[in-house]
Amino acid sequence: MKHKTATQATLWTYSVLVAIWLIAPTLIVIPLSFTDKASLVFPPTGWSTRWYEKFFTDPTWMTALGNSFTVAVIVVIISTLIGTAAALGLHRWTRRNAAAVVQAGLLAPVVVPAIILAIGIYSIFLKFQLLGTVLGFVLAHSVLAMPFVVISVTAALANFDERLETAAASLGAGKWPTFFKVTLPLIIPGVVSGALFAFVTSFDEVVLSIFIKSPYLETLPVKMYGSVTRDTDPTIAAAATMIMLITTVIIVIGLLSMNRKKRVR
Amino acid sequence: MSQAPPVGAPEAQAPPAKVRPGSKPGRTGTNPLLLLLPALALILGIFAYPLAESMWRSVSDPQLGTQNYEWFFGSSGNLAILGRTLWIALLSMLICLALAYPYAYLMVIAGPKARAALIVIVLIPFWTSLMIRSFAWIVLLQDSGLVNSFLGIIGLGPYNLIRNTTGVLIGMVQVLLPFMVLPLYSVMSGVDMRLVQAAQSLGARPAVAFLRVFVPLSMPGVVSGCLLVFIQALGFYITPALLGSPSEMLISQYIYMQVNQQLQWGRGGTLGVVLLVATLILLGVLGLMMRRSRRLLGDRGKLL
């Protein structure tokens, strides 16, 4: 028994160190954004909210934040619609081998390194004058976000009892009422988590965005990347904290709404 | 559902006429191909076409021929960059495995509350953006940063932890660790712990029972975690660009440099093809390993 507790103690110590490692970057960004110095020294020696003031009054930061939001919201709508439809299509396709090939194709953007896709998209967008446009950002981010919707809706469909659809149809419900009253309510947790993934994917995306931005249109992570490589200004920390706050709120809302759905049932 | 049946629907007998000819009986709704069409259009237009364009450029820019591939394979500097990329990816994978395996095991044997805490800690990096984490590591690892001050207190350092391979590894491992922990945990939590107990009751020491029963059963998780981490590590851009040094470039930084600074589209495309081929070969090899480990487990299962 003594041996067992010693092993467990070692395991715990090791894991706590790993845990600190995992969350250290998240933990220091927040206090760093409240520093009163114009440098990125941690821990800060005095406190102030001046970097938040700068973030919210500087038009370039605000425009970047607005762009990120606009792009992410459109990406969520497009990739959730397209991805959910695709997952349903894959699920209903009776030729399983062909469906597996198409599914692999739809998920490929997750496996292919972003930088390879980035130079290809850069070249195409240059040709079609999509660089630095909202449409360009939306198309590029949707390709990365859509696979996550397909994955999570497919997972939801795996536990889906098709006899319910058959039952609805046999009771006389048409195609659309069956979908909205039977299918959709049962797979909605998958759709919601896919949409959340899509939002976070778009909101965080840097590599593609660095290539397709223009001096007139860039997203928040691109602006941050530029800031980090050029100067060391704690406004980055304030921006980082804002991004974290936004993604956390979105994820918590998503989780809560999914839990409520479960409780109602 | 407490809703009344649709008005006008015949209740006594189900209308079989609802099932359209050509569709599988019982399936309602649209042709699956129609549902897949928008997704396929997006993938073909914004994924397949750009990739094909890059590949085409690798053999056609600045002129038709194999000059870009000759350039790549003819220079030891280029091969060194490829070798370094593979090496860093391998190291990140091994460090991740060493850190994640005990952590995932603790998740399995811990109580429900401790397990929930351990899971949340793994998920936090997922919703902290990559950009933010790389930036935070710059602050933590700089010469006067927290890590070096801590090392100073215990009488070590200061070390150069940034703008070199050490910095890249520290940042990359932190970013990739959840992709190792989660598959490991999902496989480990499905392992029947009674098998380990059975081995012990038959006289195996706990360490032996762990190594010869639990570890082999966790192998599918090890393989898929390693696969996820290695493949992502190969294509990493942001973290090496911010934490590494330009003299120890990785292939993705090299691609960026060729295309964005030197406007060598063909060379960028060639590097992309090389990286893609390396990724696909690894996917294939690890896929085979996964199948083999599964077969192995199948045999073992029969033996038990």
Percent of chain A with pLDDT over 70: 95
Range scoring the smallest mean pLDDT among A14-18, A149-153, B203-207: B203-207
Could you tell me the pLDDT band of residue B142, with boundaries at 50, 70 and 90?
Answer: confident
Q: What is the mean pLDDT of residues B100-129?
A: 91
Q: What is the pLDDT of residue B8?
A: 41
Residues of A in contact with B105 (CB under 8 A): 11
What's the pTM value of the predicted model, to 2 decimals?
Answer: 0.85
Q: Determine, for residues A82 and B38 on separate chains, whether the beta-carbon distance falls below 8 Å.
A: yes
For residue A264, the cross-strand partners are none
Q: Check whether B4 has a pLDDT greater than 50.
A: no
Residue A32 touches chain B, beta carbons under 8 Å: yes
A145 alpha-carbon distance from chain centroid: 7
Mean pLDDT of chain A: 89
Cα(A55)–Cα(A34) distance, integer angstroms: 12
Which of B46, B71, B45 is CA-nearest to residue B265? B71
Q: Average of pLDDT values for B87-97?
A: 96
pLDDT computed for residue B297 by the predictor: 58
Chain-chain contact of A115 with B18 (C-beta, under 8 angstroms)? no
Q: Return residues 246-275 of B near A (CB < 8 Å).
A: 252, 255-256, 259-260, 265, 268-269, 272, 275
**Is pLDDT at A263 greater than 90 in this prediction?**
no
pLDDT at A172: 84
Task: State pLDDT tens for residues B39-61.
Answer: 999 999 999 999 999 999 999 98
B209 touching chain A per CB within 8 A = no
Residue B20 predicted with pLDDT over 50:
no
pLDDT for A138 equals 98
Q: How many CB pairs under 8 A join A and B?
A: 278
Higher pLDDT, A38 or A232: A38
How far apart, in whole angstroms, are the C-alpha atoms of residue A114 and residue A119?
9
Compare A133 and B30 and report the one with higher pLDDT: A133
Among left, alpha and beta (phi > 0; psi -120 to 50; other), residue A231 is beta
| pLDDT above 60 for B22 | no
Maximum average pLDDT range among A52-66, A179-193, A246-260: A52-66
Chain B environment of A32 (Cβ under 8 Å): 136, 139
Say whether pLDDT at B289 is over 80. Answer: no
Determine the Cα–Cα distance for residues A195 and A145; give it in Å rounded to an integer: 9
Q: How far, in Å, CA of A218 to CA of A133, rounded?
A: 9
Shortest alpha-carbon distance between residue B186 and chain A (Å): 15
Chain A residue with Cα closest to B241: A229
- CB contact B99 to A (< 8 Å): yes
* H-helix or E-strand spanning residue A115: helix A114-128
Q: What is the mean pLDDT of residues B294-301?
A: 54
A186 touches chain B (CB under 8 A): no
Beta-ladder partners of B215: none
Determine, for residues B46 and A139 on separate chains, whether the beta-carbon distance falls below 8 Å: yes
Mutation target to probe the A interface, by most A beta carbons within 10 A, among B49, B131, B161, B179 is B131
On chain B, the residues whose CB falls within 8 A of the CB of A89 are: 32-36, 39
**What are A50-84's pLDDT values in tens digits?**
999 999 999 999 999 999 999 999 999 999 999 99
B254, B100, B40, B82: which is closest to A115 by C-alpha? Answer: B254
| Predicted pLDDT of residue B31 | 82
Whether residue A234 is predicted with pLDDT greater than 60 in this model: the reply is: yes
- Of B303 and B87, the structure prediction assigns the larger pLDDT to B87
Interchain contact, B231 vs A23, CB within 8 Å:
no
Residues A116 and B76: their CA atoms lie apart, in Å, by 22
Q: Which positions 18-47 of B are in contact with A (Cβ < 8 Å)? A: 18-19, 24, 26-30, 32-36, 38-40, 42-43, 45-47
Check pLDDT > 70 for residue B139.
Answer: yes
Residues of chain B neighbouring A25 (CB-CB closer than 8 A): 125, 128, 132-133, 136-137, 140, 174
Cβ atoms within 10 Å of A243's Cβ, excluding its own: 24
ipTM of this complex prediction, to 2 decimal places: 0.89
CB-CB contact of A18 with B103 (8 Å) = yes
Q: What is the pLDDT of residue B37?
A: 95
Distance from CA of A19 to the nearest CA of B (A): 6
Least confident of A96-110, B12-26, B75-89, B247-261: B12-26
Q: What is the mean pLDDT of residues B65-75?
A: 93
Q: Report the distance separating Cα A201 and Cα A203, nearest Å.
A: 6
Q: Where residue B171 falls among pLDDT bands split at 50, 70, 90? A: very high
| R_g over Cα of chain B | 26
